[in-house]
Structure 1
Amino acid sequence: MAETTPTQVPEVDYTLNNPDTLTKYKTAAAISHKVLEAVTALCLEGEKIVEICEKGDQLLDEEIAKVYKGKKILKGISHPTTVSPSSHVTPYTPLKTDAVEAETVLKAGELVKIQLGAQIDGFGTIVCDMAVVPKKDAAKEVITGREADLIVATHYANELLLRLMVPQGLLAQGTDEEKAKATAKKAPTQSQISDLLEKVAKAYDCKVIENTTSWMFDRNEIEGTKKIILTPGNGVRGEGVPEVGEVWGVEVGLSLGSGKVKNLDHRATLHRRTTTTYILKRPSSRQTLSEVVKKFGTFPFSLRQLEDEKAAKVGVVECVRGGVLRQYEPAGETDGSAVSRLLTTIAITKNGITKLAAPNAVDLEQVKSDKKIEDEEILKILEQPLARSTGNKKNKSKKKKTTAGEE
């Protein structure tokens, strides 16, 4: 009798070498973009932040439910909707059960940061953009002054950082010798990256926010093995160099003040499951962790997303103390100045960088700064492409060219 061997299930390739992986990232990104646009429209003078965040998560859930129907694929929110007031450095999402913070409303003229994201099969995209809160029932105004300086500076700092992440020689042109020479160049160190971004910030009289961190993304992981830390504090340093085949969450934050950060006197409402194992003693703690694992996996969540917000506030305490959940401490500018933040999810392919989920490009007709970048090294880098042309010339001639040296 012939022996039979059990059928082996082929191992799934979850890297970007598998076209399905990139498709799932792009599907998640499309959802993130659509909801970001809707949430930005909700950011009006007098609106409560908690209600905007709840609406954002509702929209995320609705859009996620429309894709990959009937397939055995886990999908959900990769980052809850957060709306951070002017001086807040970190994502902010208050709770309805915290009476004072639940009444926090947006003020006309303040620069808010909107962050959210979706994930399909563990492939998460997160995006953060900025908006100046318009006056109620007023026509859209041109943004000038220091807010304009901050917005334009952050835009160019972000574009610069993305170009510094393109692997050396990947987009080189010319002879084989010239390409080999470009490839042989060393990637910029994280110290050099920080110095270049500080030059952009200085041109607009701003500061890079200390310890702003970009992470490599993996499946079910938004804080991978590599990270880039801008203007790191003592004892803090980044690790690794971006390479082809990787997905990153690229973050840039600038300040009109010191660029230094302090913890705020607010409840930590954002959490994330860790890989730590700990035997929880309280039934409320075990119930909270069980719900977190089922609903969010290892992606960040807000306590307001749990079934019983009041019970979650109690149950999360032992989970954090035991290390099975990590809480994100609310932080802001030490001197209360306005700060910015942009976060772009990118894929690094053989053709260069693809922006998966990205903030909107700055409309330089709507945001006008009287400052500009004059450093030739910076201008030269900003002129470089993020990716090689793939032959799609649609609307190419209609694009309006803007450079960092123009107002």
Structure 2
Amino acid sequence: QIKDVSDAIQKVAAAYDCKIVEGVLSHQMKQFVIDGNKDVLSLSNPDTRVDEAEFEENEVYAIDIVTSTGDGKPKLLDEKQTTIYKRAVDKSYHLKMKASRFIFSEISQKFPIMPFSARALEDKRARLGLVECVNHELLQPYPVLHEKPGDFVAHIKFTVLLMPNGSD
């Protein structure tokens, strides 16, 4: 069962005196789709629910775990620290600024579905265009999260292939 993974993640985090950050989902992946239909919740609680399902052979999952040595509720301190983005393929908007249209065109050609770093963009004025794209939800930012001073936040992401002879 997919819900059994949440318990295992929480047990490992507790063994290292860490807390799992709420609201982080792992997703089934399909060809050209990184957020598939089945979700795996890292921290099970009454407020957040996902559909119950079972793992099946020949499925691929992007496991996404965010842990903290603090209270498990990190915050975004400065949105300008974000440098990783993903294109929202289901959104559309006619951008007003020339820089935004130029940078969005480059993103659409080079990174149509996968996340990318802002430093991978060739135009160094990209920051200006990225802001308008994010404001109109054409791009989804991956924020940098912070806890209290002295506490750490770790983001672990890996891919699991469920093969007939075991998982890879």
- In the superposition, the TM-score normalised over structure 1's length comes to 0.37
Aligned residue runs from structure 1 range 3-402, under 5 A: 187=1, 190=3, 192-231=4-43, 235-239=47-51, 240-267=53-80, 268-275=82-89, 276-309=91-124, 311-334=125-148, 336-354=150-168
**Larger relative helix fraction:** 1
Contact 1:220 1:297 in 2 (8 A): no
Tell me how large the CA RMSD over aligned residues is: 2.4
Q: Which runs of 5+ in 2 are unaligned?
A: none
CA distance in 1, matches of 2:153, 2:41: 17
Aligned to 2:151, what secondary structure does the other structure show?
A: coil
Larger RCO: Structure 1 or Structure 2 (Cα < 8 Å, ≥ 6 residues apart)? 2
Letter in 2 for 1:208: I
Encode CA deviations 1:25-82: one digit per residue, 9 max, x unaligned.
Answer: xxxxxxxxxxxxxxxxxxxxxxxxxxxxxxxxxxxxxxxxxxxxxxxxxxxxxxxxxx
Supply the AA of the counterpart residue of 1:307: E
Give 3-state SS (helix, strand or coil) of 2:153's partner: coil
Change (3 A) 1:302 1:341: closer
> What is the CA-CA distance between 1:232 and the residue it aligns to?
5.0
SS class of match (2:99): helix
Q: Distance in 2 between matches of 1:229 and 1:242?
A: 14
Shift of the 244–317 alpha-carbon distance from structure 1 to 2, 3 Å rule, reads same
Residues 1:259 and 1:290: Cα distance change in structure 2 (over 3 Å): same
Deviation for aligned residue 1:233: 6.5
State how far apart, in whole Å, the 2-side matches of 1:341 and 1:327 are. 15
Answer yes or no: is the 8 Å Cα contact 2:84–2:116 preserved in 1: yes
Contact 2:103/2:123 (8 A) holds in 1: no
Deviation at 1:234, TM superposition (A): 7.0
Distance change >3 Å, CA 207–CA 285, structure 1 → 2:
same
Higher gyration radius (CA):
1
Partner Cα distance (2:69, 2:6) in 1:
17
CA distance, structure 2, for counterparts of residue 226 and residue 343 of structure 1: 17
| Bigger fraction of residues in strand | 2
Closer, same or farther: CA 315–206 of 1 in aligned 2, 3 Å? closer
- The number of residues matched between the two structures is 165
Q: What is the distance in 2 between the residues matched to 1:266 and 1:322? A: 15
Q: Which runs of 5+ in 1 are unaligned?
A: 1-186, 355-407
**SS where residue 272 of structure 1 aligns?**
strand
Give a deviation string over 1:248-269, Cα, whole Å, max 9, x none.
1123343322222211225122
